[in-house]
């Protein structure tokens, strides 16, 4: 196993004034045995960063170290890493055993040791019965496990996963996530895992790096990133549905958004223009003169009546989505769309209802409108 150090890494394509820079001075330290997830939208540079660690992309500036050894100019085969790709990259004409053993044969590992390593990996991944099959005879989930098995048998210092679950359906993704978690517990190998799926990031990561436009927006545990997003981008990207973000003017316990002046449960950190964030599950709903919906909302906010102004924030319901154990209420707050998450056991408001929301002071997030960074 080995630690990974990424220091001020830059990647640009081309040279001179027309060079296209896609990675802008990223720095991060990955501890020995740690599982780090790099997450972000398409085109944010997460796969490029991973490929630079692997040696598949040259770096334009900065330094990458694996196990204390600078690897900027070291070939991928000599970095002691193993990579699992999105498209499995299996040889179609080879059996599962031969696919898993191929790298070891090239390295001239003795046949007896090859069989031992392949058998051990197959047992861990529960693919022992498939060793004589060809990839075309396997399901997508089984092929992905073969690809992981091929990485395991090499016994590398670092695992690199490049969106390995993207081609699987929702059920298989959930199952394979559990297998990857189990694999990391058993092997304890330092791992970098790239994904655009925030569910994968939140469930797999010990720490996560959130990328945006080739820059690292935040690094921290999933809880830290969710509870205290460092920027408005992180606040809106991590969480489903995303955090409600409202730009307005703060003055004490009042926040003005457009023509609406909203009561606050606590004073803003400063006066002037700010961005206010509130997660949908922290907006507590009660309806205004709306029969069953009114009683449901009152039940959900009875314990918090003292935490905000009695009037709350006025919303006009535009749509309600049923999502099994919960419902999402989409409403209009002035010109802004506002989302509230409620328990499915509560009677939801109807489209067109006027409702109010309340919140607790500890659930408010404040951001600078110029830098879009969190205000302490």
Cα distances (Å, whole numbers) of residue 198 to 27, 118, 225, 237, 296? 21, 32, 11, 8, 31
The alpha-carbon radius of gyration of the chain (Å, integer) is 25
Domain boundaries, the chain: 4-231, 244-367
| The pLDDT value given to residue 56 | 95
Tell me what pLDDT residue 290 has: 43
Q: Furthest-apart CA pair in the chain: how many Å?
A: 79
Sheet with 336-343, strands from edge to edge, namely: 284-287, 354-358, 313-323, 326-333, 336-343
Per-residue pLDDT at 292: 40
Q: Would you say how long the chain is, in residues? A: 376
What fold characterizes domain 244-367? Answer: OB fold (Dihydrolipoamide Acetyltransferase, E2P) (2.40.50)
The tens place of each residue's pLDDT in the chain, 376 residues long, gives: 799 999 999 999 988 888 899 999 999 999 999 999 999 999 999 999 999 999 999 999 999 999 999 999 999 989 999 999 888 889 999 999 999 999 999 989 999 999 999 999 999 888 999 999 999 999 888 998 899 999 999 999 999 999 988 888 888 888 889 889 988 998 899 999 999 999 999 999 999 999 999 999 999 999 999 999 999 999 999 998 999 999 999 999 999 998 899 999 999 999 999 999 999 999 998 754 444 444 344 434 333 333 344 568 999 999 999 999 999 999 999 889 999 999 988 888 999 999 999 999 999 999 999 999 999 8
* DSSP state, residue 205: -
Q: Is 294 left (phi over 0), alpha (psi -120 to 50) or beta?
A: alpha
Q: Count the alpha carbons within 13 Å of 24 in the hemisphere toward its beta carbon.
A: 10
Cα 352 to Cα 31, 292, 321: the distances in Å are 53, 15, 14
Rounded to the nearest angstrom, the gap between the alpha carbon of residue 266 and the centroid of all alpha carbons in its chain is 31
Residues 6+ apart with CB under 8 A from 183: 124, 125, 148, 152
Contact (Cβ atoms closer than 8 angstroms) between residue 53 and residue 2 = no
CATH architecture of the region 4-231 = 3-Layer(aba) Sandwich (3.40)
Res 93: pLDDT: 94
Take residue 108 and report the two structure tokens written for it.
């001239």
Query: Residue 291 contacts by C-beta under 8 Å, 6 or more apart in sequence?
Result: none
The DSSP annotation for 308-329 comes to: S-TT-EEEEEEEEEEETTEEEE
On the 0-12 / 13-18 / 19+ scale of CB atoms within 10 A, 10 is: middle
Quote the pTM value. 0.87
CA atoms within 13 A on the CB side of 225: 28
Neighbouring C-beta atoms of residue 241, cutoff 10 Å: 16
What is the per-residue pLDDT for 311? 66
What integer pLDDT is reported at residue 126 of this predicted model? Answer: 87
């Amino acid at each position: 196993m080995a630690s990974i150090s990424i220091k001020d890494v830059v990647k640009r394509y081309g040279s001179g004034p027309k060079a296209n820079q896609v990675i802008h001075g990223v720095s991060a330290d990955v501890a020995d045995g740690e599982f780090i997830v790099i997450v972000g939208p398409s085109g944010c540079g997460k796969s490029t960063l991973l490929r630079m660690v692997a040696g598949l992309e040259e770096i334009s500036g900065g330094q990458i170290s694996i196990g204390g050894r600078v690897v900027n100019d070291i070939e991928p085969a000599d970095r002691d890493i193993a990579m699992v790709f999105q498209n499995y990259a299996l040889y179609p004409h080879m059996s599962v055993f031969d696919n898993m053993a191929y790298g070891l044969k090239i390295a001239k590992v003795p046949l007896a040791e090859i069989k031992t390593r392949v058998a051990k990996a197959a047992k861990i991944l529960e693919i022992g019965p498939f060793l004589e099959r060809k990839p075309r005879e396997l399901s997508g989930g089984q092929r992905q496990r073969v690809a992981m098995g091929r990485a395991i048998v090499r016994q590398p210092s670092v695992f690199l996963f490049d969106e390995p679950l993207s081609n699987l359906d929702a059920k298989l993704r959930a199952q394979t996530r559990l297998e990857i978690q189990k694999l990391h517990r058993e092997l304890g190998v330092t791992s970098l895992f790239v994904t655009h799926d925030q569910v994968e990031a939140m469930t797999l990561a010990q720490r996560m790096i959130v990328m945006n436009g080739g820059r690292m927006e935040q690094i921290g545990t999933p809880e830290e990133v969710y509870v205290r997003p460092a920027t408005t981008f992180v606040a809106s990207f991590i969480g489903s549905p995303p955090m409600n973000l409202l730009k307005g003017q703060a003055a004490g316990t009042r926040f003005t958004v457009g023509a609406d002046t909203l009561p606050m449960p606590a004073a803003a950190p400063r006066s002037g223009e700010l961005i206010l964030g509130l997660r949908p599950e922290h907006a507590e709903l009660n309806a205004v003169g709306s029969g069953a919906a009114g009683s449901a909302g009152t039940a959900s906010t009875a314990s918090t009546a003292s935490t905000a102004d009695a009037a709350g924030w006025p919303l006009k319901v535009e749509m309600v989505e049923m999502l099994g154990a919960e419902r999402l209420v989409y409403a209009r707050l002035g010109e802004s769309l506002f989302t509230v998450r409620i328990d499915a056991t509560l009677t939801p408001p109807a489209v067109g209802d006027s409702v109010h929301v309340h919140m607790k002071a500890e659930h408010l997030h404040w951001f600078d409108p110029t830098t879009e960074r969190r205000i302490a």
